């Protein structure tokens, strides 16, 4: 299966972000991509601590940002992982940070709400996602072709138990759409991605944002496709919008798990 990770710098302009994501998707489809993955908060990246801004950024699912990709999925018989959208939560001013999977028939077949919310001090900036986001509670798996896939988002990467639970559920692909910061990314991004692949003998697909947002937060880029053996199949740059392509094969998962049959229990 040919996969494509979309790496770009989203802004506070939802219409422009969506237009850019659709254009990159069309380019990836034109080059034969069968599964396209977008980064975390692909349609809005801004200061969600402001409740008015957050309210304007949130959507119901399905909503306009999700619905825009359904015709492409149907036309090209391709699947999409919309890395994350700020999902309107009922009876709460906060939002869910939600990853959405659209299958090759254009049907929304899975939705994952980010469980682990980012809490960090980056230089003089404090980030506490729990102030504006609600945590999800459930793991989400979904079939794509011959694979079973487990969904996660960004900061989840630091919690290996989540991925071990996925592996015990028979998952062969782990997705980690992100807006990983440059400071933490330089130290930990590759190490975490490769560790999650190695520990679970699974592919890891991780589209990341790049560039600086209106808050002055710099995203690390370096979107990656990691093999079940922990090898980097493809990697993006740290400073540019681009599409990262790679091929994945279920046989590579089976080979890795034959070599180390006792890893997943």
CA distance 169 to 163: 10
CA distance 128 to 70: 33
Identified catalytic residue from 14, 88, 114, 134: 114
Identified catalytic residue from 9, 14, 40, 59: 40
The verdict on whether 114 is a catalytic residue reads yes
Identified catalytic residue from 154, 172, 182, 252: 154
The verdict on whether 27 is a catalytic residue reads no
CA distance 132 to 33: 35
The verdict on whether 87 is a catalytic residue reads no
Cα 177 to Cα 52, 76, 105, 152, 209: the distances in Å are 25, 22, 22, 7, 9
Q: Going by C-beta distance under 8 Å and a sequence separation of 6 or more, which residues neighbour residue 161? A: none
Joined together, the tokens standing for residue 168 give 């015990």
Q: What backbone phi and psi angles, to 5 degrees, belong to 32? A: 95, 10
Cβ-in-10-Å burial (0-12, 13-18, 19+) of 230 comes to middle
Q: What backbone phi and psi angles, to 5 degrees, belong to 43? A: -100, -5
Give the catalytic positions in this structure.
40, 114, 154
């Amino acid at each position: 299966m040919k996969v494509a990770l979309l790496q770009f710098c989203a802004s506070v302009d939802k219409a422009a972000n969506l237009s850019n994501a659709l254009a990159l998707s069309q380019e990836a489809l034109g080059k034969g991509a069968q599964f396209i993955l977008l980064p975390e908060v692909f349609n809005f990246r801004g200061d969600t601590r402001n409740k008015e801004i957050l309210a304007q950024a949130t959507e119901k699912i399905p909503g306009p940002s999700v619905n825009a990709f359904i015709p492409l999925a149907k036309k090209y018989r391709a699947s999409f992982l919309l890395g994350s959208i700020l999902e309107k939560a009922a009876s709460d001013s906060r939002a869910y940070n939600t990853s959405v999977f659209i299958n090759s028939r254009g049907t929304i077949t899975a939705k994952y709400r980010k469980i682990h919310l980012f809490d960090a001090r980056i230089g003089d900036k404090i980030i506490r996602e729990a102030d504006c986001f609600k945590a999800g509670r459930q793991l989400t798996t979904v079939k794509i072709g011959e694979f079973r896939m487990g969904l996660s988002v960004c900061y989840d990467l630091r919690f290996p138990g989540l991925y071990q639970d996925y592996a015990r559920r028979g998952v062969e692909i782990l997705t980690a759409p992100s807006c990983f910061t440059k400071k933490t990314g330089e130290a930990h991004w590759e190490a975490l991605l490769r560790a999650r692949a190695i520990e679970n003998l699974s592919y890891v697909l991780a589209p990341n944002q790049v560039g600086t947002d209106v808050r002055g937060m710099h995203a690390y880029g370096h979107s990656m496709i990691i093999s079940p053996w922990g090898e980097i199949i493809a990697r993006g740059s740290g400073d540019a919008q681009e599409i990262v392509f790679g091929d994945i094969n279920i046989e590579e998962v089976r080979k890795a798990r034959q070599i180390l049959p006792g890893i997943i229990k």
